[in-house]
Amino acid sequence: MMNRWQFLKRLTPLLALMVLVLSACGRADLSALNPQGPVAQEQFGLMKLAFSIMIGVVVIVFALCLFVIVRFRRRKGDKSIPKQVEGSHKLEIIWTVIPIILLIILGVPTVQSVFNLSKDYSNDPDAVKVIVTSHQYWWEFEYPELGIKTAQELVIPKGKIITIEAKTADVLHSFWVPSLAGKIDTNPGGSTNKMFFSAPKEGVYLGKCAELCGPSHGLMDFKVKSVDDASFDRWAAALQEPVAMPSDPVVAAAFESKCLVCHAVGDKGGPLYPNLTGIGSRDSVGGILINTDDPKYSNEASTYENLHRWIENPDDIKPGNLMGKIDLTQQELDGIAKYLSELTLDYEK
Amino acid sequence: MDWLTTVDHKKIGILYLIAGGFFFLVGGLEALLIRIQLWKPLNDFVSADTYNELITMHGTTMIFLAAMPMLFALMNAVVPLQIGARDVAFPFVNALGFWTFFFGAVLLNVSWFTSTGAPAAGWTAYAPLSGPAFSTGHGMDYYVLGLQIAGIGTLIGGINFLVTIINMRAPGMTFMRMPMFTWASFITSALILFAFPALAVGLAALMFDRIFDANFFDPNNGGNAVLWEHIFWIFGHPEVYILILPAFGVISEVISTFSRKRLFGYSSMVFATILIGFLGFMVWAHHMFTTGLGPVANALFSIATMLIAVPTGIKIFNWIFTMWGGSIKFTSANLYAVGFIPTFVMGGVTGVMLAAAPADFQYHDTYFVVAHFHYVIVGGLILGIFSGLHYWWPKMFGRILNETLGKWTFWIFYIGFHLTFFIQHFLGLLGMPRRIWTYLDGLGFNEMNLISTIGAIMMGIGTIMFILNVVITNAKPQNAADDPWEDGRTLEWTIPSPPPEYNFKQTPLVRGYDAYWKEKMDGHKGMTPAEPIGSIHMPSPSILPFTMSLGLFITGFGLMYSRDWTFITEHIGFYVAGLGLLITFGSMFLRSVYDDHGFHIEPEELEDKGVKA
Ligand code: HEM
Ligand SMILES: [Cu+2]
């Protein structure tokens, strides 16, 4: 009686926690336990299966353990010598066979799923192709069929299959959007990795780099934004429009000479570093300074303030990033931040 | 001086313990700094660069400089005694193994004090981040050379144990009568023999990339970065089993002794150990599911990995059934051993979960993995080491560790451990990648990280309590009995604590499994000797292992700075490296030409209790 009670007492909080977490905890836009697309859904299914089997195993082993240590503890002064059992073939076969059965139950769907998720949609005319190139510490998204490039925010039409070709410009990184799909590494050298996913619901999903890539590895976030088809088309079109330079000539000059050597807006500038076209409508600056008019946390502020903070000292926000501190006067800084914060693409409905 | 020249396996065991224990503290301090940095979002307690140095050095230190040496400490202290041997097969090589480990470890840690800092590419050192283009400065050079030198020590240590166990068993000690810890040490040594050369090759290639502009891993010049991943994990996965198998051995001994029962299913335990060792080599690519090896490779490695659960399960149930029907005494040693079982099971089941490749696309490189491997290496290996230390402490030092303090230490460490790592499973599933310097506010990570940090502090307190226990115990008289736990089953408990220099006055005759227990049950006081008392041949002490390793240490420095010191004169670095090699090879030469016959301990001296180690 005693041991059963102890056993329950120890297990209840554990099980409660499991149930709590498994019943879709975590942020819907970030958690692998709260899948928002079929790929993540399938992975979550496998996770649930494995979880259930393993909880079963853990419970049985814990119960046995507890029973044994309670029942067979040595009483004071006990000098008796227990029977020296050699083993038991029957028992040993049981605990060889049962795990094998459990592994078959888990192994078969695993193999199925491995092949399922490695399907190649890159020749599917309905799929949207994206070439993802990772850089220390930002992401470039190229849509080869549409002839457009953007950075930090992957805009996709909802429900469509997106096929990813993952590459890197420098070291290993890993492309990961937990609530939509597991990760795939971006390998240096010629080899590109492929993967696909889709997001049936509109929304913004958080993506992360999952492979140590330098000091700012942990800050290498990006967003996946799923929008309806019409918005997507408007967005793709707007991205190709020419963009006006800042109206203030001083600011314009500074912007052109100091920013456009690396960055591009519209048809101007260089392709080296993140394309800034439409940066005013992105959800974040640098992937981590969240743009909002109602900031709650120190990593949130208005688009203007975030841009201002970033341009003033990028190294402060993402240590070791390759932008470095740019020499700007206060007026140029304010002006460029304002200009960029207003550089929006009006494409959603 | 005595300690610099010793070739006695018991003393070398103690050296390993002191050095390994020291680096365990260093690695623990690094862990605490990591956890302090992560206790709240957007913290900047340490800089991003320092953080990456901390995780790299923490991982590298814990695995290579703390866990391995502490295992070698136990193996050195116990294996020859368990098989009834007077020493290891190659005492000189044994000392050399220790000193190369030690100088390699020191070299690695010197990097903290240099202007370019410690290595920062993770303990896995994935190329090209670890290559010359992205890890400028000398951090990674320290990693490459420090580990290379320390690795030599491990490799020769492993070979030494293989030969010792094959050749030096007492009469009657057949393979199927060997104690489980010896078996585990044997398989571990075999794994070392096959795995460490892979590491050596990888490190050498990386060294060529870094110091001589080779391009093994540089894709821009025809190299292949994924190749490093393969080489690293072909070494790295067996390494995990190298670490855990001896812990399995310890648990088998401790549980059986304190249950007063024979190990349940001994032969299936042996078989399971061999099988785990074998499968350990077949599954390296499960660290690379997201590398893009393709579905066939992923499926095969998934299944192969899951298979390891079978022999591991056999072990777990055999331990439980060893206790079943026994008379279990909860000493500190046994608390650690019993606490090991559920903890390791949890590490094991998350291992099977990770083996399901599509699910691993979600788990990989997140805190789920951090939780998993700490359940295995802290919850498995470190608990195993603590268990073994409490168990064999009287044999090693002649003093029993304080039991009350020992139990308190266990509970604080154990609770702290689960607090730290259990919650990290969920952090990972909720989207927290590993190796991140900081995390944003509002992602839902805050509370769990705080709890994890509190747990880590408890583990730190536990560790300090253990040190305290050692210090207190050390102040007490050396009065442990030969068989202090009274239920000793194996040969080490038949001789004095600590054993004399020559271990066994007369080599014992082994008449069955659990040799000592068998004699006790047959009503005998001790072992039947297999030989008359005679003169015992002992190897002489030597400073050469120390100087050989010192030479390698100097070579390491020379190579690393070969480019920086050109202001003194061109190539000075290579001269320094050459000087180091000269010292090493010079010592080897001396060793070869100088005929050292060792010395003998005569029967008269054996009577005199004074010759203690
Ligand atoms: C004092 C208890 C310990 C604590 C609190 C601790 C904590 C941590 C933390 C927070 C990380 C970084 C995870 C990340 O950011 O990805 C880490 C990494 C690691 N730990 Fe521990 N750890 C402890 C003990 C150990 C031990 C005993 C070992 C091995 C014997 C170990 C092996 C590792 C390894 C291999 C890594 C990965 C390093 C890397 O990513 O390069 N840890 N640990
Ligand atoms: Cu990255």
What pLDDT was estimated at residue A1? 38
Q: How confident is the model over A190-228, as pLDDT tens digits?
A: 789 999 999 999 999 999 999 999 999 999 999 999 999
Which stretch of DSSP H or E encloses residue A132? strand A128-135
A46, A131, B291 from A40: Cα distances, Å: 10, 20, 18
Contact between residue B104 and residue B150 where contact means Cβ atoms under 8 Å apart: yes
What residues does A153 pair with on adjacent strands?
Answer: A223
Q: Which two tokens stand for residue B112?
A: 């903290």
Across the interface, of B129, B264, B365, the residue whose CB is closest to A210 is: B365
Q: How confident is the model over B117-148, as pLDDT tens digits?
A: 899 999 999 988 999 989 988 999 999 999 99
pLDDT of A21 > 60? The answer is no
Please report which confidence band the pLDDT of residue B2 belongs to, taking 50, 70 and 90 as the band edges: confident
pLDDT of A6 > 60? The answer is no
B315 exposed, middle or buried (CB, 10 Å; 0-12, 13-18, 19+)? buried
At A210, the amino acid letter reads: A
Question: Percentage of residues in chain A with pLDDT exceeding 70?
Answer: 93
pLDDT of B566 > 80? The answer is no
Question: Percentage of residues in chain A with pLDDT exceeding 90?
Answer: 79
Q: How confident is the model over B505-519, as pLDDT tens digits?
A: 999 999 999 999 999
Chain A, 124-163: which have a CB under 8 Å from a chain B CB?
none
Q: How confident is the model over B433-492, as pLDDT tens digits?
A: 999 999 999 999 999 999 999 999 999 999 999 999 999 999 999 999 999 999 999 999
Ligand 1 close to Cβ of residue B62 (< 6 A): yes
Please report which confidence band the pLDDT of residue A87 belongs to, taking 50, 70 and 90 as the band edges: confident
Ligand nearest to the CA of A171: 2
Question: Percentage of residues in chain B with pLDDT exceeding 70?
Answer: 98
Q: How confident is the model over A50-62, as pLDDT tens digits?
A: 999 999 999 999 9
Q: Which two tokens stand for residue B412?
A: 């604080």
Q: Work out whether the CA dihedral A321, A323, A329, A331 comes out positive or negative.
A: negative
Please report which confidence band the pLDDT of residue A27 belongs to, taking 50, 70 and 90 as the band edges: confident
Query: How many CA atoms within 13 Å lie on the side-chain side of B344?
Result: 26
Query: How many CA atoms within 13 Å lie on the side-chain side of B244?
Result: 27
* Phi-psi map region of A147: left, alpha, beta (phi>0 left; psi -120 to 50 alpha): left
Question: Percentage of residues in chain B with pLDDT exceeding 90?
Answer: 83
Q: Do B265 and A319 touch (CB under 8 A)?
A: no
| For testing contact with chain B, the best of A20, A94, A111 (most B CBs within 10 A) | A111
Output the average pLDDT for chain B.
93
What pLDDT was estimated at residue B608? 60
> With the CA atoms of B469, B471, B477 and B483 taken in that order, what torsion angle do they form, in degrees rounded to the nearest 10?
40
Ligand 1 close to Cβ of residue B389 (< 6 A): no
Please report which confidence band the pLDDT of residue A12 belongs to, taking 50, 70 and 90 as the band edges: low
- Residues 6 or more apart whose CB falls under 8 angstroms from that of B78 comprise B13, B181, B182, B388, B392, B395, B492
Average pLDDT over residues B237-255: 96
Separation between Cα atoms, residue B499 and residue B382, nearest integer Å: 26
Please report which confidence band the pLDDT of residue A19 belongs to, taking 50, 70 and 90 as the band edges: low
pLDDT of A25 > 90? The answer is no
A89-116 helix and B332-355 helix, angle to the nearest 10 degrees: 40
Q: How confident is the model over A122-133, as pLDDT tens digits?
A: 899 999 999 999
Ligand 1 close to Cβ of residue B591 (< 6 A): no
Q: How confident is the model over B333-367, as pLDDT tens digits?
A: 999 999 999 999 999 999 999 999 999 999 999 99
Across the interface, of A44, A95, A174, the residue whose CB is closest to B365 is: A174
Q: How confident is the model over B207-223, as pLDDT tens digits?
A: 999 988 888 998 888 88
CB pairs under 8 A between A and B: 303
Average pLDDT over residues A110-131: 94
Q: Which two tokens stand for residue B560?
A: 């690393």
Nearest to B548 by CA among B141, B104, B26: B104
Q: How confident is the model over A233-255, as pLDDT tens digits?
A: 999 999 988 899 999 999 999 99
What pLDDT was estimated at residue B605? 78
A151 exposed, middle or buried (CB, 10 Å; 0-12, 13-18, 19+)? buried
How close does chain A come to B31, measured CA to CA in Å?
A: 18
Average pLDDT over residues A62-91: 90
pLDDT of B611 > 50? The answer is no
Ligand 1 close to Cβ of residue B240 (< 6 A): no
Which residue carries 């368990």 as its tokens? B82
pLDDT of B570 > 80? The answer is no
| C-beta atoms surrounding B42 within 10 Å | 12
Q: Which two tokens stand for residue A206?
A: 């958080």
A62, A113, B207, B216, B262 from A92: Cα distances, Å: 18, 32, 48, 48, 16
pLDDT of A71 > 90? The answer is yes
What pLDDT was estimated at residue A284? 94
Closest-approach residue (CA) in chain A for B255: A69
For chain A, what's the residue count?
Answer: 349
Average pLDDT over residues B178-192: 97
Ligand 1 close to Cβ of residue B374 (< 6 A): yes
B319-333 core/surface letters (b: 16 or more CB in 10 A; e: else)? bbbbbbbbbbbbbbb
Closest-approach residue (CA) in chain B for A100: B310
What pLDDT was estimated at residue B212? 86
| C-beta atoms surrounding B155 within 10 Å | 20
Ligand nearest to the CA of A209: 2
Residues of A in contact with B321 (CB under 8 A): 85, 88, 91
Ligand 1 close to Cβ of residue B372 (< 6 A): no
| C-beta atoms surrounding A5 within 10 Å | 9
Q: For residue B139, report the distance from its CA to the centre of ligand 1, in Å.
A: 19
State whether residue A92 sits within 8 Å of chain B by CB: yes
A184-193, A339-348, B227-236, B571-580: which has the highest mean pLDDT? Answer: B227-236
Average pLDDT over residues B406-435: 96
Ligand 1 close to Cβ of residue B378 (< 6 A): yes
pLDDT of B255 > 80? The answer is yes
B9-37 helix and B48-60 helix, angle to the nearest 10 degrees: 150
Ligand nearest to the CA of A217: 2
Residues of B in contact with A178 (CB under 8 A): 362, 431
For chain B, what's the residue count?
Answer: 613
Contact between residue B400 and residue B476 where contact means Cβ atoms under 8 Å apart: no
Across the interface, of A82, A100, A298, the residue whose CB is closest to B42 is: A298
Separation between Cα atoms, residue B281 and residue B286, nearest integer Å: 11
Q: Is the omega angle on the peptide bond into residue A137 within 30 degrees of 0, that is, cis?
A: yes
Q: How confident is the model over A258-315, as pLDDT tens digits?
A: 999 999 998 888 888 999 999 999 999 999 999 999 999 999 999 999 999 999 999 9
Q: What 3-state DSSP class applies to A310?
A: helix
Q: How confident is the model over A137-177, as pLDDT tens digits?
A: 999 999 999 999 999 999 999 999 999 999 999 999 999 99
